[in-house]
Amino acid sequence: MLLSQLLKDINVLNSYEDREISDVTDKSGNIKEGCAFVCVVGARFDGHSVAEDVLSKGAAAVIVSKDLGLKEQILVENTREAYAIMCKNLFGRAVDSLTMIGITGTNGKTTTAFVIKDILKALGIESGLIGTVKNMVGEKSFKTELTTPDPYDMHGLFKMMVDDGIKYCVMETSSQAFHQMRLAGIHFDTGVFSNLTQDHLDYHGTIDEYKKCKKTLFVNCDKGVFNADDEASFYMAENVPCTKQFYSVNNSSDFKAENVGLFFDRVEYTLNGEKVVFHIPGDFSVYNSLAAISAVVQLGFPLKDVVKAIFNAGSVSGRLEVLKTNTDFSVIIDYAHSPDGLEKAISAVRGFTEGRVITLFGCGGDRDKTKRPKMGRIAAELSDIVVVTTDNPRTEIPEMIINDILEGTKEGNAEIITVVDRSEAIAKAISIAKKGDTILLAGKGHETYQVIGKERVHYDEREVVFSVVKI
């Protein structure tokens, strides 16, 4: 592809000689003969520092935001933005052929995305999905490490979708992705806002900056769908060009759930005269299903058909996932890793548990420390027994993380048990469980690894549970 074609829609600040480019990368270890290297400035590494080196290794051009005095340099205002748009152009601007549905918020993104995909499939439409658990092109699945992938990988997925005849893509859009401009050059047909609670402050610094990043979605979409029961919705909807529709349980809205019924295996409610049955339990499932229904209706599908389609929407890995243990107590895995997420998960479990609620969780290392005592307090107030353990300690000492959590547990009435090793903690929780109890394993969800130090090691809670109960 010609360099001029790769630079389409990018404000180039210097003249350059057009030439054929073999590939695009922002990773100095991926240099190919004739490629364009984008000098992205990161938290730990500035690509400008290796510009001359990558040219000597065969790169045909370097994209820079600082004048390095190099003959082969292309000067732009922002290399992160340029990289995203160049990836879009490299893959034939495939994303422009897709109807894009973006979902942002602290909790509920993953479930809402999968439910939208399930609804579309029930309506006879194959779609793509990009998100936390996995990426999908129709029914083909691909592993993922980021909620919103690197632009190169992301636009490669869009190209696969278009090549397979797919016309819709539902996508989780993270606050970090907006901040890092991974989504530059992508316009969304519909944007969905779920809720906003404390999370990722280790990255963003303040809740206001976190909110600001998420609002970017609604500057770049045609139709916005907002949770009217979350006050942050009104910030998200303010002074943005998209049309606005709201969903709710408590406040007035365009899509309001009424006559809500909560059951151990489903939720039921009436929505604008139609009965909704959604087979994932918990009051937050009312909100997730409302978000999904509202979004699909915004795409132009009749409410009656959408409500019928959601009846068969499936469960999501690591989201109130019930393990088949063949015991007289239940074991549930959930990704809850924020104060709000943990509160919602425990509350949902409490709603259908006959006996005691045993909550097992930890907090990630090298992440927002202020949420640790908050999560400890929530667990201790809402559970009967709390087992505090390790999550992804990263470079922190696990015992120190646990001590931060324990400060919050002092405010609750639950019995507190501390077991540092997560596998031993799970075994302990299972050993004390009685008939009718529910064990909630919170924090890992779909993840099948732990990050210890700087290494990612295999760790699947399902395997641990099944080994303990000997299935």
Q: Which helix (H) or strand (E) holds 294?
A: helix 283-298
* 313-338 confidence digits (pLDDT tens): 877 778 888 898 999 999 999 989 89
| CA distance linking residue 36 with residue 343, whole number of Å | 47
* 367-386 confidence digits (pLDDT tens): 999 999 999 999 999 999 99
* pTM of the full structure: 0.81
Is the pLDDT at 170 greater than 70, yes or no? yes
Across the chain, mean pLDDT equals: 93
Is the pLDDT at 242 greater than 70, yes or no? yes
- What is the per-residue pLDDT for 38? 97
Q: What is the mean pLDDT of residues 70-87?
A: 96
In sequence order, the β-bridge partners of residue 172 are: 103
| Structural contact between residues 211 and 232, judged by C-beta atoms closer than 8 angstroms | yes
The DSSP code sequence of 157-225 is: HHHHHHHTT--EEEEE--HHHHHTTTTTT--EEEEEE----S--HHHHSSHHHHHHHHHHHHHSEEEEE
- What is the per-residue pLDDT for 199? 55
| Structural contact between residues 91 and 158, judged by C-beta atoms closer than 8 angstroms | yes
Q: What is the mean pLDDT of residues 269-281?
A: 95
Convert 385-437 into a string of H (helix), E (strand) and C (coil): EEEECCCCCECCCHHHHHHHHHHHHCCCCCEEEECCCHHHHHHHHHHHCCCCC
| Structural contact between residues 331 and 321, judged by C-beta atoms closer than 8 angstroms | no
Is pLDDT larger for residue 465 or for residue 207? 465
Q: What is the mean pLDDT of residues 254-275?
A: 93
- What is the per-residue pLDDT for 424? 97
What are the CA-CA distances from residue 319 to residues 226, 440, 461 (Å)? 22, 11, 13
* 188-206 confidence digits (pLDDT tens): 999 999 998 755 555 556 7
Task: State the pLDDT confidence band at 463, using cuts at 50, 70 and 90.
Answer: very high
Q: Which domains does the chain have, with CATH numbers?
A: 3-86 (3.40.1390.10), 94-310 (3.40.1190.10), 321-469 (3.90.190.20)
| CA distance linking residue 250 with residue 262, whole number of Å | 15
Q: In which residue are the tokens 């998100």 written?
A: 131
| Structural contact between residues 227 and 254, judged by C-beta atoms closer than 8 angstroms | no
- What is the per-residue pLDDT for 396? 97
| CA distance linking residue 127 with residue 17, whole number of Å | 40
- What is the per-residue pLDDT for 385? 98
Task: State the pLDDT confidence band at 442, using cuts at 50, 70 and 90.
Answer: very high
- What is the per-residue pLDDT for 202? 57
* 3-45 confidence digits (pLDDT tens): 999 999 999 999 999 999 999 999 999 999 999 999 999 878 9
* 214-227 confidence digits (pLDDT tens): 899 999 999 999 99
- What is the per-residue pLDDT for 198? 55
| CA distance linking residue 184 with residue 148, whole number of Å | 12
* 385-406 confidence digits (pLDDT tens): 999 999 999 999 999 999 999 9
Q: What is the mean pLDDT of residues 435-442?
A: 96
* 345-357 confidence digits (pLDDT tens): 999 898 888 899 9
Q: What is the mean pLDDT of residues 103-113?
A: 90
Task: State the pLDDT confidence band at 280, using cuts at 50, 70 and 90.
Answer: confident
| Structural contact between residues 279 and 176, judged by C-beta atoms closer than 8 angstroms | no
Q: What is the mean pLDDT of residues 175-191?
A: 93
